Amino acid sequence: MKRIATLLFATLTALSACHASPKPSPPKPANAMSNATHPQNPYYSRTDTTKLDLPNEVWKKVLSPELYRVARLGETERAFTGKYWNYEGLGTYYCAACGNALFRSDAKFASTCGWPSFFETVRPGSVRYRDDTTYGMIRTEVLCGRCDAHLGHVFDDGPPPTGKRFCMNSISLEFEPDRK
Ligand code: FE
């Protein structure tokens, strides 16, 4: 009798332990990186520069509709409507889609075009370029070097020392102030 009671106790203990065990977490998508500040976007990272090659169906699930339309469909926000066109804070601008560092505030200049403008990127590989012949114009499109998000265009009418004007969509950027 005592043996049966011991067996029963052991079985019940095992069963309750089984119920108490935590549920397995869902698998992360390929190339996923956890980021506490962007829980809805597992691909966002300010430290990982690994190239991301994801289809738009994936981006559509993790970006806001407004950012998706600009970053993945190449739309342009209306001039003088974005949050950074006349912003003068000191810090770094990151890709809003993936967290890749793009520009420093000391490369930003006051532009009358209505979009945030910079004369150079934070490092050569932070962006990549593509010919854009839409709307009857010949322009150079600027894409994020990590995730290929559409950022804007670059023109040759910028100030010294580069003479470049990186004309960006505010919504594609995310500003982080310098720590004092
Ligand atoms: Fe990006």
Indicate which CATH number applies to the domain containing 119: 2.170.150.20
Mean of per-residue pLDDT scores for the chain? 86
Phi first, then psi, for residue 90 (nearest 5°) are -95, 125
Q: How many domains does the chain have?
A: 1
What percentage of the chain has pLDDT greater than the value 70?
81
Residue 129, pLDDT > 80, answer yes
Catalytic site residue from 95, 144, 147, 167: 167
Between the CA of 102 and the centroid of ligand 1 the distance, in Å, is: 9
164 within a domain of the structure (yes/no): yes
> What is Dmax (Cα atoms) for the chain?
93
Domain contains 162: yes
Active site annotation includes 144: no
CA 52 to centroid of ligand 1, rounded, Å: 8
d(CA 66, CA 83): 13
Distance 19 CA to ligand 1 centre (A): 42
pLDDT of 175 reads 98
Q: How confident is the model at residue 35 (pLDDT cuts 50, 70, 90)?
A: low
Q: Does 50 fall in a domain?
A: no
Q: What is the mean pLDDT of residues 120-140?
A: 96
Question: Over 60: is that where the pLDDT of 123 sits?
Answer: yes
Q: How far apart are CA 163 and CA 13, in angstroms?
A: 74
Q: Which structural domain, as residue segments, surrounds residue 105?
A: 56-177
DSSP code, position 123: S
Q: Which residue has the tokens 């804007």?
A: 152
The predicted model gives 87-115 an average pLDDT of 96
Q: What strands lie across the sheet with 101-104, from one edge to the other?
A: 101-104, 91-95, 173-177
Helix (H, G, I), strand (E, B) or coil at 110: coil
Contacts of 16 (CB under 8 A, 6+ apart): none
How far away, in angstroms, is 15 Cα from ligand 1 center?
Answer: 47
- The pLDDT, as a whole number, for residue 161 is 97
Residue percentage of the chain with pLDDT more than 90: 75
